[in-house]
Structure 1
Amino acid sequence: MATQQDQFAQMKKTVEARNYQQQRQLPPSSGAHPLPPSSARSQQPPPAAPAEQPTVDIPSIIPDSKTGLTYLRGKLLGKGGFARCFEVTETKTKSVFACKIVNKGLLLKQHQKEKMVQEIKIHRDLRHKYIVNFLSHFEDDANVFITLELCTKKSLMELQKRRRCITEPESKYFLRQIVQAVEYLHDEKHIIHRDLKLGNIFISEDICLKIGDFGLATTILFDGERKKTLCGTPNYIAPEILGKKGHSYQVDIWSIGCILYTLLMGRPPFETSTLRDTYRRIKRGEYTIPRDVHISTNAKNLLIKLLQVNPMIRPTAGEILRSEFMMQGFIPSTLPASVLVMAPRFDRPPNFGQSIIRTTAAPVAPPTVVIAPGNPLFKKPLGLANQPATGSSDGTASGGFIPPTAASVRSLAPSTAPHQQEPPALYCDMDTKDLMQNMISLRDQIRKIVSGKLPRTKDDDNAEDPSLCPLLWICKWVDYTDKYGFGYHLSDDTVGVSYNDQTKMILLPDAKSVHYIDKEGNESYHTMKHFPDELLKKIKLLKFFEQYMHDNLIKATDGRIPPPPSDCIARVPNMWTWFRSSRSVVMVLSSGTMQINNFRDHTKLILCPLLGAVTTLGSNKGMRTYSLSRMLEGGLSAELVERLAYALDKIEVIIGHSKENVSANVVESPAKKV
């Protein structure tokens, strides 16, 4: 077998990724690297994606003959047409990395091999704290292996889908890291990335950004050189690329503008229902800033500069860092992991004044499902008459009364220092109407799958998409509503209680910080040692629930890992609504995540309407996450169809009770229990 150096030497010639659009599907599957629409091309179907690389071809033990290191293949992190990415563990040091594995058999064309060489050549020489660290590359007869820094918190794309839009302090925190990395690429390495987008900006364990995927990157060889390759992603592609007049570093600046706009507004600036219209708007620079969006003048001014059609008047990376948007106002030095699902608050530091806590809309109680006295499920065995019903990883539970719940919270708080004349940031938390719309969207997605004549598969491998896996789910729960309320324990060590009086209390993973939500949805923040006297009883009950779940339900661990100090107050989802049947407990968090714990086979089904994803979590099969859209394309197993049909029934219960009377106590008919 030829050596690695010989193999790559044979590939090295022209390294421009010409006609790269053949390597990735056109929208809506991935939306990457299309040709501009034309009357001729618009009638042609997109090029077929290559066959996916079967997992069986990838060894469980991966040796690097060059270094003598051996890697143990772990869970799948993501997949595409040409590659799969796995978590791997180096067997000697037990260090954990990401490993991108490319099937050589799929690199059939010369330009595909050249693109592979180019990506490795560019990425391996980069060293920056905000760029994914390239560790090594090697090969065997079948595959090319690239080991990379592992970014455990996915990418900005998943964050934006969950959050929709983020606050200005968060956007400054993220923008500074992106621009510092781009400044390094442009000024020190003379590299254009050419595919900057939310999905290519990864998030590390400590919530730092890392730019990755250099498959379209290119090097500027001399001053004034203009590249002509047609490449990029529709929502982020610069007008000069579409114009085919040559492009340079400024295309990355345009993409940064699209990223910032999307994070602040909740949608890309030029997105339309058709590719043709999107390109037309890009070429003309047509976008709007909605009047009801609360962003600062400095943010608007920076967006205007970044999204200039004329590339020569866009700012450089260094000029972005020196802009008023970045130089004025508060930028947090760190962010808690909770920002991946909910906006933090920035009004805790003394120099930021007192917190403003009020709801933005009249609260509406979410639907509540109640099993009435007299229903057989209401009765407990005599020995359990004064004991709480519980649920844990083993799925055990007993019947009980379901309490009403309060509305979720949508808050306003100042995001900048008092001396700045800027509007307060609107935290894009979901209110009851948003959550109900999510339930309707989830119902419609699952209906298509359950009612459609989709092919049945032996397994669900083709529909699997680990990048969509949930960040938070309910690990344990305890129903003590005959006295106090419903308690639960989240996967990040958060403990929450929904009290019978429709108030809520949350103990954060640091085991010190306490959030209290009153009946109207107003939030207040305390600690376990410092709180108002009127909360004393509820603090004691919170401790009781925490201790009970720790002693009786939670498996032994190494203890909590305290989060690092932060400039903000971390916020986590609360329990929006929940109910129980003879077969399961159904819980919905205020982030929109719905979870069904099956009492019979001890399986958890976690559904996320915002990501279009469903996750199964069982004691034997582990966690697997699937894309609903991929199910529609390739089918699914009979077992998963059955689980989704049951979930659809429970979603209909929530929606149906909402239409009747969202504030009423409603009895779930025994006929609906399956």
Structure 2
Amino acid sequence: MSTKDRIRTAASDSDADTYIVDPKTRKTYLKGQFLGKGGFARCYELMDMTTKEVFAGKIVSKSLLTKQHQKEKMSMEIAVHRSLNHENIVGFHGYFEDSESVYVLLEICRRRSLMELRKRRRVLAEAEVRYYMKQILLGCQYLHGVKVIHRDLKLGNIFLDDGLILKIGDFGLAAKINYEGERKRTLCGTPNYIAPEILNKKGHSYEVDLWSIGCIMYTLLVGKPPFETKSFEETYSRIKRNDYFIPPKVSPAAQSLIVRLLRSDPSERPATQTVLNDPFFSAGFAPTRLPLSCLTMAPRFYEKKTATSTSGLPPKPLSLVNKDGCGMVAGHLKRALSSATTTTTAVSVKPSSAPPLPPTATEFSPCTEPSDYFLSDLLCQLSDCLKKEPEKKSSKQWDEAEDPASQPIYWISKWVDYSDKYGLGYQLSDNSVGVLFNDNTRILLAADGENLHYIDRDGHEEFHMRSQRPEHLKKKVTLLNYYSDYMSDHLLKTGAAMGPKEGDEIARLPHLRSWFRTHNAIVLHLSLGILQINFFRDHTKIIVCPRMGAVSYIDEKSRFRTYRLSDVGQYGCSKELASRLDYGRVMVERLMGNAAAVKGPGKMVKEPEELIQ
């Protein structure tokens, strides 16, 4: 589904205000997908009906701007942002107002913010932190060069576009320096990122942004802000005392830079250019591009090949799927797939345009996942939500639970079941393809059609190029090719595909851990912890992500909406979604309590018939 079609679909679901007109220019904008909310604003996709250009439309109701200081703050935000133009600053494309609202047209950043990245990844590799830190610093250097202090740099205000290019946004607290040496005295900022000179009301300037960048760097490497506590008062006290601890897992170069950025005395903090020249940025691999998979999976970083280096992990022996010859297996599968069970899932994602990284040799460290792959978290989140009986709450507040920022990066868009012979084949939402074989080995082919990822039954990972795959993977690659061709030729996928990305050679993809079928649905559990359930009768689907604490619901009209489970419990949801969440809860219990029963692919698991009405 194209951006234009997605906007049309979203707009058709709206009761009113589908079109917005600029009273002065008479330009008309089509109001589309809800993107999120924050402060006084709600954000939607807005498409210029003349140029078809799509913006993130920040809409602020004038009923919320009743006080003079609120109006002045809005005017200052617009005045500052419209004066900026830099690759690492969210683009400003105009504003207008009518009798009811103020509309600000901004560059759309579909990969959300570093806040969502941290929720999915928890901690990042230092190579990734170098990538993001450099762009934050370049954006901040530009701001300081035009005499602007951001004053609210934090994960939630740093956005990512489709190419994972970083963009600093939200200038609601920004200030202009009017003369050399001016010190601002407004008490402002976000508790975990606020500099001590702001708290001490001693006057502040550009240095507060460097403090916040130090907090951001620490958070990305450690997983939580350096001064975070359970109360604002204690957090502020720790900031004033400069009381924080850097875990030993953080490299000496990174520790040194964090300490310099978090100096209590602002005059002792380095300027942006000094930070850019810091040894941290030359202490290890510094990628110039990252693949989309880095939003949810740790990449495999590697250095350029030398005469003494190897080109990958050594292949490990394994039992082949079948004793038949490769040609016989492939021919049999090709004939048999026509009678296999198939399905598709629909959604639209815009492709990335990031340029490639140079060829390299393997060196990576996968993230450590819980031994149950988040099943316990899934059960707790679903149970807590359902205890609040969300289906009994008034439908007037249901929309308050919607949170598009929590939409999953990956889900299974197509699948084909030939487990009575080989296994389950599937396509992920980015067009990569995988197979979970009956011998509990897995193989994935990236969307570029060349990078192979093999996981043996003990969880050991290998990476190869398809054109140079080792002999022991010959049969499995052949089977993978036939699954892939069959899904491409016979299964329709509603929604634009995310095609091959530059950087795929360092990508690590999620894989299917386990699955089973019931009379009502197929249940799929991914290595990311994501639980996906496709219901046969009405083709609805739920995708529950424990890291985000959210569920995406694809209804019978193929509408794709994402909700925070905690908000569903608070604001309620439809009876249809509630019943599917309850079904999901029971399926998680089956996955946890009957692992042996569902381990073998293709097993049919019994279920209470009353679960789905």
TM-score by length of 1: 0.79
SS in 2 for 1:329: coil
C-alpha separation in 1, matches of 2:130 and 2:440: 37
In the alignment, does 2:539 pair up with 1:587? Answer: no
Q: Which residue of 1 aligns with 2:552?
A: 615
Q: Which residue of 1 aligns with 2:469?
A: 531
Deviation string, structure 1 residues 133-183 (Cα, Å, up to 9, x no partner)? 001011111111111111111111111110111111111011000000101
Query: Within 5 Å, which residues of 2 pair with 1:94-109?
Result: 94-109=52-67
Conservation of the 8 A alpha-carbon contact between 1:236 and 1:254: yes
Q: 1:286 to 1:275 in 2, by over 3 A?
A: same
Q: Which moved more, 1:59-68 or 1:248-257?
A: 59-68
Query: Within 5 Å, which residues of 2 pair with 1:151-166?
Result: 151-166=109-124
C-alpha separation in 2, matches of 1:482 and 1:126: 60
Q: 1:509 to 1:638 in 2, by over 3 A?
A: same
C-alpha separation in 2, matches of 1:189 and 1:58: 41
Shift of 1:86: 0.8
Shift of 1:559: 7.9
Q: Which residue of 1 aligns with 2:413?
A: 475
Query: Within 5 Å, which residues of 2 pair with 1:55-454?
Result: 59-186=17-144, 188-291=145-248, 293=249, 295-347=250-302, 349-350=304-305, 353-354=309-310, 357=313, 387-393=339-345, 426-433=365-372, 435=373, 438-453=374-389
Deviation string, structure 1 residues 550-597 (Cα, Å, up to 9, x no partner)? 12213488887432357x511110112211111111111111211111
* Gapped regions of structure 2 (runs ≥ 5): 1-12, 316-334, 347-359
Q: Which moved more, 1:446-455 or 1:72-81?
A: 446-455
C-alpha separation in 1, matches of 2:568 and 2:254: 40
Conservation of the 8 A alpha-carbon contact between 2:43 and 2:56: yes
Partner AA of 1:546 in structure 2:
S
Q: 1:337 to 1:609 in 2, by over 3 A?
A: same
Shift of 1:298: 0.8
Conservation of the 8 A alpha-carbon contact between 2:300 and 2:364: no
1:636 to 573, 582, 596: 573
Shift of 1:638: 2.4
C-alpha separation in 2, matches of 1:665 and 1:572: 20
Q: 1:593 to 1:556 in 2, by over 3 A?
A: closer
Conservation of the 8 A alpha-carbon contact between 1:62 and 1:71: yes
Conservation of the 8 A alpha-carbon contact between 1:227 and 1:247: yes
Q: Which residue of 2 aligns with 1:506?
A: 444
Deviation string, structure 1 residues 68-116 (Cα, Å, up to 9, x no partner)? 4322111011113411111121122211111111111111111111110
Shift of 1:449: 2.1
Deviation string, structure 1 residues 350-389 (Cα, Å, up to 9, x no partner)? 2594367599xxxxxxxxxxxxxxxxxxxxxxx9999322
SS in 2 for 1:173: helix
Q: 1:426 to 1:309 in 2, by over 3 A?
A: farther
Q: 1:91 to 1:614 in 2, by over 3 A?
A: same
Shift of 1:472: 1.2
Q: Which residue of 2 aligns with 1:11?
A: none
Shift of 1:327: 3.4
Partner AA of 1:303 in structure 2:
I
C-alpha separation in 1, matches of 2:190 and 2:176: 19
In the alignment, does 2:428 pair up with 1:490? Answer: yes
C-alpha separation in 1, matches of 2:495 and 2:183: 57
Deviation string, structure 1 residues 598-622 (Cα, Å, up to 9, x no partner)? 1111111011111111110135151
Deviation string, structure 1 residues 483-504 (Cα, Å, up to 9, x no partner)? 1111111111011101111111
Shift of 1:261: 0.8
Q: 1:619 to 1:494 in 2, by over 3 A?
A: farther
Conservation of the 8 A alpha-carbon contact between 1:596 and 1:605: yes
RMSD (Å) for aligned C-alpha atoms:
2.7
Conservation of the 8 A alpha-carbon contact between 1:168 and 1:425: no
Partner AA of 2:292 in structure 1:
A
Q: Which residue of 1 aligns with 2:7?
A: none
Higher helix share: 2
Conservation of the 8 A alpha-carbon contact between 2:553 and 2:562: yes
Shift of 1:224: 2.1
Q: 1:288 to 1:623 in 2, by over 3 A?
A: same
C-alpha separation in 1, matches of 2:533 and 2:480: 24
Shift of 1:67: 3.5
Conservation of the 8 A alpha-carbon contact between 1:348 and 1:355: no
C-alpha separation in 1, matches of 2:564 and 2:150: 28
Q: Which residue of 1 aligns with 2:539?
A: 602
C-alpha separation in 2, matches of 1:524 and 1:384: 29
C-alpha separation in 1, matches of 2:438 and 2:117: 33
Q: Which residue of 2 aligns with 1:7?
A: none
Conservation of the 8 A alpha-carbon contact between 2:446 and 2:452: yes
SS in 1 for 2:302: coil
Q: Which residue of 2 aligns with 1:45?
A: none
Shift of 1:671: 4.7
C-alpha separation in 2, matches of 1:250 and 1:644: 48
Partner AA of 2:367 in structure 1:
C
C-alpha separation in 2, matches of 1:385 and 1:336: 32
C-alpha separation in 2, matches of 1:514 and 1:664: 24
SS in 2 for 1:258: helix
Conservation of the 8 A alpha-carbon contact between 2:301 and 2:364: no
SS in 1 for 2:70: helix
Shift of 1:427: 3.6
Q: 1:479 to 1:86 in 2, by over 3 A?
A: same
Conservation of the 8 A alpha-carbon contact between 2:597 and 2:603: no
C-alpha separation in 1, matches of 2:507 and 2:239: 37
C-alpha separation in 2, matches of 1:449 and 1:535: 44
Count of aligned pairs between the two proteins:
562
Q: 1:242 to 1:56 in 2, by over 3 A?
A: farther
* Gapped regions of structure 1 (runs ≥ 5): 1-54, 360-382, 395-416, 419-423
Q: Which moved more, 1:203-212 or 1:454-463?
A: 454-463
Query: Runs (4+) of structure 1 moved beyond 6 Å?
Result: 55-58, 383-386, 556-560, 660-668
Q: 1:576 to 1:355 in 2, by over 3 A?
A: farther
TM-score by length of 2: 0.86
Deviation string, structure 1 residues 629-661 (Cα, Å, up to 9, x no partner)? 222332333222212111111111122235x89
Q: Which residue of 1 aligns with 2:353?
A: none
Q: Sequence identity, in percent?
A: 46
Q: Which moved more, 1:295-304 or 1:315-324?
A: 295-304
C-alpha separation in 1, matches of 2:123 and 2:103: 36
Q: 1:614 to 1:537 in 2, by over 3 A?
A: same
Partner AA of 2:371 in structure 1:
T
Q: Which moved more, 1:452-461 or 1:471-480?
A: 452-461
Partner AA of 1:200 in structure 2:
N
C-alpha separation in 2, matches of 1:632 and 1:556: 30
Q: 1:542 to 1:59 in 2, by over 3 A?
A: same
